[in-house]
């Protein structure tokens, strides 16, 4: 097969020039589809719109070598990522056009350069080079699962895509998500799992009254302070083999009381916890309620968005990725579970998944940028991953 070759840096710049701030598509999927179709992929748009949300367009692109069939048990490798980006914030704070895709002093600038249009371009180009090199000797499938709803609520993206495709009989053997996993420089870290996320909304009810007559009132702020101490002063756990200790942070406390001489009747507070594999969502909620009950008094706890922790055990997939990084950069990555959530939390229910992408120093920041050399090196790493995966015998 004489597949054209994609330039990952040029493609990344073209993707950046499409202002695809969640949930806007802004032509970014058209640009990516055109590039992928040029190297032999079949592209399918997959829009979703849950009730009460805006429609989001997603893309599933797949290459299957003619002649590959289930009888021959061809292997299927998936790259996953997102092309939606966060808002730019104050435009005047940027030194360049946030959607210009400009290269300055060897660095590609623009919203999404690091998170994660650079990686999407890198694995697209890697797939193209791999197919051009293998030609008809390749037997198997490569797919790209691309969402426009990762930076948003994630209701209309990866999760319904996977559910729909699986219902149609699609299966995957392994997946690599191109999130920016490296803290400082390319090759430092790959993610083999993520902590769970748990958001709680507390409403503590008291009795309103005059500050000069506190015995006639019940101050819910004072009780909240004890509840905060109960949830934060004693560690929830000490961490596990692959996970940090669970962290719980209060993010808002709201009373809405304009008077300095009135004890309020209720107080609202919000907290978010990132928990490890010591807990499930259910067991974590039980521990939170136990600690709140120990403080006592009337309260309501409502659970907001949450996701389970997960771990892909160290094995052949992490070996392949680590070896590819070492071959290209001469360093072995730390296999970590740090950071926030990602769409890998959905993919892990369908196949082994690992995350590796660019450095995240500038993601979501003003003047987001990455070195051009890192995009090129990342694309070569992805190509090496494909070579090793399809040369490897299933274990």
Torsion of CA 217, 219, 223, 228, to 10 degrees: 170
3-state secondary structure 311-339: ECCCCHHHHHHHHHHHHHHCCCCEEECCC
Q: In what order do the strands lie in the sheet with 59-64?
A: 42-45, 59-64, 140-147, 75-82, 174-177, 353-355, 189-191, 334-336
Q: Distance between CA atoms of 216 and 153, rounded to whole angstroms? A: 44
| Catalytic residue check, 84 | yes
The dihedral built from the CA positions of residue 100, 103, 109 and 111, taken in this order, carries a sign that is positive
151 known ligand binder: yes
Side-chain-side CA neighbours of 9 within 13 Å: the count stands at: 16
**CA distances for 368 relative to 93, 120, 142, angstroms:** 12, 16, 30
The active-site residue, picked from 25, 57, 84, 374, is 84
364 known ligand binder: yes
8 Å CB contact between 231 and 169: no
Instruction: Give the burial string for 268-307 (b: 16+ CB within 10 Å, else e).
Output: bbbbbbbbbbbbebeebbebbeebbeebebebeeeeeebb
115 known ligand binder: yes
Longest pairwise C-alpha distance within the chain? 86
| Catalytic residue check, 57 | no
Query: Where are any strands of DSSP class E within 255-383?
Result: 262-263, 266-275, 299-307, 310-311, 334-336, 353-355, 369-371
Q: Report phi then psi at 117, rounded to 5.
A: -65, -30
Nearest Cα residue to 195 out of 305, 363, 311, 317: 311
The active-site residue, picked from 25, 150, 277, 383, is 150
- Tally Cβ neighbours within 10 Å of residue 240: 15
- Tally Cβ neighbours within 10 Å of residue 23: 19
76 known ligand binder: no
Which residues contribute to the annotated binding site for Zn(2+)?
82, 115, 151, 179, 364
Which residues are known binding-site members? 82, 115, 151, 179, 364
Catalytic residue numbers? 84, 150
């Amino acid at each position: 097969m004489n597949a054209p070759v994609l330039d990952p840096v040029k493609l990344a710049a073209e993707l950046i020039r499409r202002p695809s701030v969640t949930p806007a598509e802004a032509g970014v999927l058209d640009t990516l589809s055109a590039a992928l179709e040029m190297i032999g992929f079949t592209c399918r748009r997959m829009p979703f719109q849950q009730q009460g949300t805006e429609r989001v367009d997603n893309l599933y692109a797949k290459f299957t070598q003619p002649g590959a069939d289930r009888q021959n048990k061809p292997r299927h490798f998936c790259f996953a990522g997102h092309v939606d980006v966060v808002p730019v914030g104050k435009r005047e704070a940027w030194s360049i056009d946030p959607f210009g895709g400009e290269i300055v002093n060897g660095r590609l600038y623009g919203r999404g350069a690091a998170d994660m249009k650079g990686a999407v371009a890198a694995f697209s180009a890697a797939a193209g080079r791999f197919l051009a090199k293998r030609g008809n000797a390749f037997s198997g499938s490569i797919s790209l699962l691309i969402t426009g709803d990762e930076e948003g609520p994630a209701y209309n993206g990866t999760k319904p895509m996977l559910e729909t495709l699986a219902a149609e009989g699609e299966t995957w053997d392994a997946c690599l998500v191109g999130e920016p996993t490296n803290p400082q420089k390319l090759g430092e870290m790959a993610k083999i799992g993520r902590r769970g996320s748990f958001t709680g909304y507390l409403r503590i009810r008291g009795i309103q009254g005059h500050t000069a007559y506190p015995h006639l009132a019940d101050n819910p702020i004072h009780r909240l302070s004890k509840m905060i101490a109960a949830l934060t002063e004693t560690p929830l756990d000490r961490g596990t083999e692959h996970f940090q200790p669970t962290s719980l942070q209060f993010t808002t406390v709201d009373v809405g009381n304009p008077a300095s001489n009135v004890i309020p009747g209720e107080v609202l507070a919000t907290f978010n916890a990132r928990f490890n594999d010591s807990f499930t969502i259910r067991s974590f909620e039980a521990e939170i309620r136990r600690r709140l009950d120990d403080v006592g008094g009337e309260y309501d706890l409502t659970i907001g968005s949450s996701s389970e922790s997960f771990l892909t055990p160290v094995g052949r997939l992490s070996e392949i990725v680590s070896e590819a990084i070492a071959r290209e950069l001469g360093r072995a990555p730390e296999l970590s579970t740090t950071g926030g959530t990602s769409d890998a939390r959905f993919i892990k229910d369908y196949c082994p998944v690992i995350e590796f992408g660019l450095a995240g120093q500038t993601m979501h920041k003003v003047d987001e940028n990455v070195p051009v050399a890192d995009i090129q090196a990342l694309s070569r790493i992805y190509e090496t991953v494909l070579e090793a995966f399809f040369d490897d015998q299933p274990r």
